[in-house]
Amino acid sequence: MQELTHFINGERVSGGSGRFADVFNPATGEVQAKVPLATTEEVNEAVAKAAEAQVAWGATNPQRRARVMMAFGQLINENMDMLAESVSREHGKTLPDGRGDVQRGLEVIEVCMGAPTLLKGEFTTDGGPGIDLYSMRQPLGVVAGITPFNFPAMIPLWKMGPALSCGNAMVLKPSERCPSTSILLAELLKEAGLPDGVLQVVNGDKEAVDAILDNETIQAVGFVGSTPIAQYIYGRAASNGKRAQCFGGAKNHMIVMPDADMDKAADALVGSSMGAAGERCMAISVAVPVGDKTADALVERIVPRLEKLKVGPYTAGDDIDYGPLITKASQTRVKGLIDSGIEQGATMLMDGREFSLQGYEDGFFVGPTYFDNVTPDMDIYKEEIFGPVLSQVRTQSYEEALKLTMDNEYGNGTSIFTADGDTARDFANRVNVGMVGINFPIPVPLSYHTFGGWKKSAFGDLNQYGPDAFRFYTKTKTVTERWFSGIKEGGEFAFKAMD
Ligand code: NAD
C-alpha cells in the first residue's frame, strides 16, 4: 500500500500522527494509498518554517518572483500528461477532463507571470504643497489554502499562484481524497526556483484545518468546498482576525427560452450536467424550460443523448464521457437523493441507480439520471446533488424562470439559452448570481477576469484569481510625504530651479 507524504521545507515528509485516510481508486472501489493526517503540532511547525522562508521571498522583487511563475508554467506544460494522470487516478475523471483541470489552473499561473504589473501601486504628485502620496501593495505574510477534491490541480493552482507571486508563503491543505497532485505541483515549483518552505503542503482533515484557523501567524485563508464548511471556516477565521474568502456549493440553473436553438440547448444541458459525473461547482443541475413546448422539445432531445453517454474508468480511453463518483458514501448519497425524487413525485425519465460495468462492479458509478416535473419543494431541487442528475423544472414565463433562479439560496453560476438579445441582457443585469452564461452553459470566467459566486456560494470578500486575487493576497499601505525644499516660507509652493 502506497503511503503518501506531506511536502515540507522542499521535501516529501512522512506523517508523524499515526492517523491516515484512505485514498480510493473510485473506478474499482479499492484503496490505492493512505494519506497522513497532520496533527496541530505538525501544522504549526510547517507554518513557523513558512514564516521564516517568507521574509526573503517577500523581499524578492516581483519580477524575480514572476520568473519563478514563468518557469513553473513551462514545467506544468511539459508535465501535463503526468499531472492529468495523477488527477484522474485519484478523482476518477476522464483524462481529457484531467488535462482540462491542469490547463485551467495553468492559465492562472500565466496571469501570475504579470504580477509586477498587477502589484504596481498608485501615486499622486502635489497632493498639497510639497506633498506626494503613494500606495503600495505588500504581502500579508503566511496565508493558507484549503481545497476540495473535485479539481485537484486547478484549485490548488488558483490558490498558490496569486498568493506566492504576491510575496506570501502558503500552507496548502488539499483534499485528503485527492492529495497527490498538490505534492507534484509543489515539486515542480521547487524545480522552478521557489525557495524551500515558501510552499508547504500539509495533508489532513478537520484537525489540520482547525490548526490553520487558530494559528496566529496565518494572516488569510482561501477556502473552496461545500457551503456548510465554507460558512464554518469563514466564521472561525474571521473571529480569529484573519482575512477569509470561502467559496461554497452551488445549484446552477439554465433557463431555456422558446426561441433558443433546442439542439444546442440539449447538448449544453447534457454536457454541463453529466460532465465529470456532475462533480463540478459550475455544473448545470437544473434545466428551466419556459413553456411546455420547450420542455417537451428538450425531453425529446436530451433522453437519446443521455442514452448514448459512455460511463467508465479513465483508463478505458478518451471517448469515455464521465467516470465514477469520488467515494462510496457519495454514490450512496446520490442514489438516496434519486430515491427521494421518485418518492416526492418527480417524473423519472432516466434512472442511473442500477448502472453497472463489467469488471468494475465495486466502482462508485452512477448512470445518467434525468427528472422532469421537479418542484422547488423536492430534495432533488433543494440539495446540491454533486452527481450526474439533471432536474427539469417547468415554468410558464421568463419572469417565473428568473424568479426561480433568483429565489434559490445558491448563486454560483447560471445560464440562459435564447436568440433574443433583450431577454439575454435583462437576465444578465437582473439575476443575483455571480457568473452568468448567455448561450454558454458553464461560464467559468477566463483567468484574467475573476471567479466567484453570490449568496450561499461564497462568504467573504473578493473573488478568486485575476485582479481580485492580487487584492486579497496583499495589504495596501499608503504613504503621505512632504519635502520642505519645495515649499517657500509662508507655505507657498515653488519648484526649485533645475541646474
Ligand atoms: P468539502 O467541504 O467536504 O471539503 C473541502 C475541504 O474542507 C477539504 O480540504 C476538507 O478536508 C475540508 N473539510 C471537510 N470537512 C471539514 C470540517 N468538518 N472541518 C474542517 N475542514 C473540513 O468539499 P468537497 O466535497 O471536497 O468538494 C465539493 C464541494 O466543493 C461542492 O460543494 C462544490 O460545489 C464545492 N466547490 C465550490 C467551488 C467554488 O468555487 N465555489 C469550486 C469547487 C468546488
CATH code of residue 273: 3.40.309.10
Whether 495 maps to a domain, the answer reads no
Which atom of ligand 1 is the closest one to the Cα of 384? 32
Top mutation candidate among 281, 414, 444 for ligand 1, by most atoms within 8 Å of CB: 281
Q: Do 262 and 182 belong to one domain?
A: no
Cβ-based neighbour number of residue 461 at 10 Å: 12
Q: Tell the burial category of 18 from Cβ atoms under 10 Å away from its Cβ (0-12, 13-18, 19+).
A: exposed
Q: CA nearest 330: which of 368, 375, 253, 278?
A: 278
- Of the residues 386, 406, 438, the one at which a domain ends: 438
Q: Give distance in angstroms: CA of 230 to centre of ligand 1.
A: 7
What is the reported pLDDT for 493?
A: 54
C-alpha cell at 104: 485551467
Q: Do 259 and 243 belong to one domain?
A: no
Q: Per DSSP, which regions of 82-198 are E strands?
A: 122-128, 131-139, 142-146, 169-173
Whether 347 maps to a domain, the answer reads yes
What is the reported pLDDT for 369?
A: 98
Whether 104 maps to a domain, the answer reads yes
The structural domain count of the chain equals: 2
- Of the residues 411, 438, 465, the one at which a domain ends: 438
Measured from the CB, is residue 231 less than 6 Å from ligand 1?
no
Measured from the CB, is residue 386 less than 6 Å from ligand 1?
yes
Diameter over CA atoms, the chain: 92
Q: Do 214 and 68 belong to one domain?
A: yes
C-alpha cell at 64: 524575480
Q: Give distance in angstroms: CA of 149 to centre of ligand 1.
A: 7
Q: Do 32 and 178 belong to one domain?
A: yes
Measured from the CB, is residue 281 less than 6 Å from ligand 1?
yes
Q: Do 55 and 173 belong to one domain?
A: yes
Strand-pairing partners, residue 255, are 288, 416
Measured from the CB, is residue 412 less than 6 Å from ligand 1?
yes
Give exposure, 166-185, as e/b (b: 16+ Cβ within 10 Å): bbbbbbbbbbbbbbbbbbbb
Q: Is 22 helix (H, G, I), strand (E, B) or coil?
A: strand
What is the reported pLDDT for 499?
A: 46
Q: CA nearest 468: which of 118, 68, 151, 92?
A: 118
Q: Give distance in angstroms: CA of 224 to centre of ligand 1.
A: 6
Domain extent at residue 208: 2-248+457-480
Q: Is 281 a known active-site residue?
A: yes
- How far apart (Å, rounded) are the C-alpha atoms in residues 131 and 126? 5
What is the reported pLDDT for 303?
A: 98
Angle between helices 95-112 and 80-91 (to 10 degrees): 120
Q: Do 57 and 28 belong to one domain?
A: yes
Q: Give distance in angstroms: CA of 234 to centre of ligand 1.
A: 13
**Residues, the chain, total?**
499
For the chain, which ranges sit under pLDDT 70? Answer: 486-499
Whether 444 maps to a domain, the answer reads no
Which atom of ligand 1 is the closest one to the Cα of 249? 34
To the nearest 10°, the Cα dihedral for 400, 406, 408, 411?
140
Q: Do 341 and 240 belong to one domain?
A: no
Angle between helices 206-214 and 227-239 (to 10 degrees): 30
- How far apart (Å, rounded) are the C-alpha atoms in residues 434 and 455? 9
- Which residue's C-alpha comes closest to atom 20 of ligand 1? 206
Angle at 272 between CA 389 and CA 174, to 5 degrees: 85
What is the reported pLDDT for 300?
A: 98
Within its chain, how far is the Cα of 483 from the centroid? Answer: 48
Q: Do 262 and 230 belong to one domain?
A: no
Q: Do 117 and 179 belong to one domain?
A: yes
Report if pTM > 0.75: yes
Q: Give distance in angstroms: CA of 57 to centre of ligand 1.
A: 30
Q: Do 69 and 83 belong to one domain?
A: yes
Residue 9: CATH number of its domain: 3.40.605.10
Taking CA atoms, 66 is separated from 73, 162, 446, 451, in Å, by 10, 10, 20, 22
Q: Do 102 and 175 belong to one domain?
A: yes
What is the reported pLDDT for 488?
A: 63
What is the reported pLDDT for 1?
A: 87
To the nearest 10°, the Cα dihedral for 150, 156, 162, 166?
150
Taking CA atoms, 335 is separated from 263, 364, 497, in Å, by 29, 11, 81
